[in-house]
A and B are shown apart, each in its own frame.
Chain A
Amino acid sequence: MLHETSPLAIGIFAAFVFGVLWLSFWLGRKGQSAQGYYAAHGQVHWFVNGVAFAGDYLSAASFLGICGMIAFSGYDGFLYSIGFLAGWVVALFVIAEPIKALGRFTFADALDARFNSRGIKLAVAISTLVVSIFYLIPQMVGAGSLVTPLLGLPHAVGVMLVGAAVTVIVVTAGMVSTTWVQFIKGSLLVFFCGILTVLILNRGLTVNAGRSGPVDLTPQVRTVRPDGTVLVDGRPQSADHDLRPIGTITRLPERFAGKTTTGPLGPLAYLAALEDSTIVTWSQETTVDQDGTHVTFTPRERPAAELLRPGGYFKGLAGGTLAGRLDFASLMLALFCGTASLPHILIRYYTVKDAAAARRSTVVGIAAIGFFYLLTLYLGLGAMTSGALDPTDTNMAAPLLAKSFNQTLFAVISAIAFTTVLGTVSGLIMAGSGAVAHDLVENVCGVQMTDHEKVRVGKLAAVALGIVAMALGILFKGFNVGFLVGWAFNIAASANLPALVMLLFWPRTTKQGITAAVTVGMVSSLGWILLSADTFEKVYGLSRDLSPMPFSQPGLVTIPLGFLVLVVVSLLTPAPTRR
């Protein structure tokens, strides 16, 4: 769909982005030592760190991806919310205090604390880079999706805007500015999503999103011709002739007979009323011929109750195949195990002063993140019935929901979504930069550096990672960001969690066991993803049937494999000596 830009939206957006950049420069004065650059001197207050956890974690996948998935596929998007939050239970009860006690700058510090092994440092540094890059992809894709309707700029320009802004944030002040950017972004995101939820409940449910006349149920066809021009229903796309926005209710429950709107509803009454309503969903089918690529959007009127139970997105759940169920189980296991294995989350434990602060900040993070995930259900369902969805872009559901209220809210929500991306990407680039400068260059290669040189190498690594992120963000345009981030969780959980858990619970764990578990977990999960049916279809453009893997999400196999490899290799190598 084409989207009109407004000076107000551009002004609000610019104010947010420049405000964040100014803050970054201002804070940049405080983080010039290695301890300041990588760990914010370990002096961040636990409450600030807890909200920054939320800012770090509530990425484009949580905001744009989950809301879009619920809006288009119903309840299954909410399963992501449940899984994403569940991972924090592992982080709090098992990982938080030990990881703080073990490490200093990076995740590799923690895993290697007992051994001082170059093999562990190398394996963990590479795993950190791989996970960070896979997590970066959906953030950059989300950024590209946002600027198109907001600023009228192409997807690639949005990706480059984020890449440039984040690189500036990280290079100027490292973890100090990253922490405050994430704190502000986390606070704003939760607050404004709360406001948006109140507005959704206050609006209630309305037939045909308040438009007069019956819901238009004719299919729509979008064609991209070989020369790049776009047709809608056979005529050139323009502001006057475009795809119709979708997401409408056609019938309200019996108790609202004769009315076209329910009026304000409470949180549970909203869900109950939607369950008894009838809505329109749109399937899409793509065909390619000599005239171009044709995507046909076909409407279907159905009971909303069908979308408020599992099976709308994960087809294996609704009477599907065993492979489909295993695929879902594998994803949910990866989400549960992945959070406590994400390098950009783990390094945040080094910004507080002690284990008690680490614990308290995790609890604050869980409260903020949990509250946000409760809201995602209403945001997604509100978008599903807003009559404002762009059928070509699931990632734009939340901002377009805001637009259905007014242009100002749209600008604010889009700007917050953009800072959401900034906050998460800056955390990821910090993690990657630390892995390169501290783990690879200093500890693996043995390059002795002054404090100033460590910071400079970290900044150079941040610039390089920023460029990689921009390239990948352009390459993966059009993917649902929630789906993409599932890959990162699978790799993180497979590569990092077995080593971390066994280090804490099994004294017989050896350095060879950790190195092997990280390496095998990372390579096996990455290889599985690259050979999966989803990747064959969505990345390579090949038939799903060509994939050799039985299901697409690897965690169900590769996480236990990591544990197994660690145990076997540890038992085959000399037991560590206690020092």
Chain B
Amino acid sequence: MNNGQPHDPHDQLSPSRLGLGLFAVYVLLYGGFMGLVLVRPDLLASRPFGGVNLAILSGLGLILAAVVLSAIYMVARSNR
């Protein structure tokens, strides 16, 4: 509600370039993983590390990547 005083969002907001860059990185990771699941799910059965298959490793990696990228974003924005 603006109480009759609409404001122009372009004057006060826009997603930061850093945020959009990190977003692009995650989209590539997420899209690549989903592409693998859809097109070559057989590759995900391979076990490259610790006896754990690629499906699980990449899933865990995607979750960790989201946490790490968000931490980078917070630190970088806080230092401005």
Query: A residues near B, CB below 8 A?
Result: 75, 78-79, 81-82, 85-86, 88-90, 92-95, 97-98, 101-102, 104-106, 109, 112-116, 268-269, 271-273, 275-276, 305, 308-311, 317-318, 325, 328-329, 332, 336, 355-356, 359-360, 362-363, 366-367, 370-371, 373-374, 377, 438, 442-443, 503-504, 507, 578-579
A367 and B12 within 8 A (CB)? no
Number of residue pairs spanning A and B whose beta carbons lie under 8 angstroms apart: 166
Closest-CB distance, A316 to chain B (whole angstroms): 9
B50 and A504 within 8 A (CB)? no
Question: Whole-angstrom distance between the alpha carbons of A374 and B60 in the complex?
Answer: 7
Q: What are some 9 contacts across the A-B interface (CB < 8 A)?
A: A81-B59, A98-B14, A114-B8, A116-B4, A271-B51, A309-B55, A328-B37, A355-B13, A374-B64
Q: A275-B47, A366-B67 are in contact. List 13 more A-B contacts (CB 8 A).
A: A82-B33, A89-B70, A97-B15, A98-B9, A98-B13, A116-B6, A308-B53, A309-B53, A328-B38, A329-B34, A370-B63, A503-B9, A504-B15
Chain A residues in 8 Å Cβ range of B74: 359-360, 363
Question: Whole-angstrom distance between the alpha carbons of A145 and B77 in the complex?
Answer: 44
Complex partner residue of A94 from B6, B15, B33, CB under 8 angstroms: B15
Chain A residues in 8 Å Cβ range of B53: 275, 305, 308-309
- Please provide the chain B residues from 2 to 60 with a CB less than 8 Å away from any CB of chain A in the complex: 2, 4, 6-10, 12-16, 19-20, 22-23, 26, 30, 33-34, 37-38, 41, 44-45, 47, 50-53, 55-56, 59-60
> A89-B66, A104-B1, A578-B8 in contact; A98/B56 too (CB < 8 A)?
no
Closest-CB distance, A393 to chain B (whole angstroms): 26
> A75-B56, A79-B59, A317-B37 in contact; A97/B4 too (CB < 8 A)?
no
> A79-B37, A271-B52, A305-B53 in contact; A94/B19 too (CB < 8 A)?
yes
Chain B residues in 8 Å Cβ range of A367: 67, 70-71
> A86-B62, A94-B20, A366-B66 in contact; A101/B12 too (CB < 8 A)?
yes
Interface residues on B, range: 35 or more
> A116-B2, A309-B55 in contact; A98/B66 too (CB < 8 A)?
no
B23 and A275 within 8 A (CB)? no
Complex partner residue of A93 from B9, B23, B45, B52, CB under 8 angstroms: B23
Chain A residues in 8 Å Cβ range of B37: 79, 310, 317, 328
Closest-CB distance, B6 to chain A (whole angstroms): 5
Chain B residues in 8 Å Cβ range of A113: 2, 6-7, 9
Residue of B nearest to A578 (CB): B8
Question: Whole-angstrom distance between the alpha carbons of A503 and B13 in the complex?
Answer: 11
Closest-CB distance, B13 to chain A (whole angstroms): 4
Closest-CB distance, A167 to chain B (whole angstroms): 25
> A272-B50, A309-B44 in contact; A86/B55 too (CB < 8 A)?
no
A318 and B9 within 8 A (CB)? no
Question: Whole-angstrom distance between the alpha carbons of A438 and B74 in the complex?
Answer: 33
Complex partner residue of B52 from A268, A332, A504, CB under 8 angstroms: A268
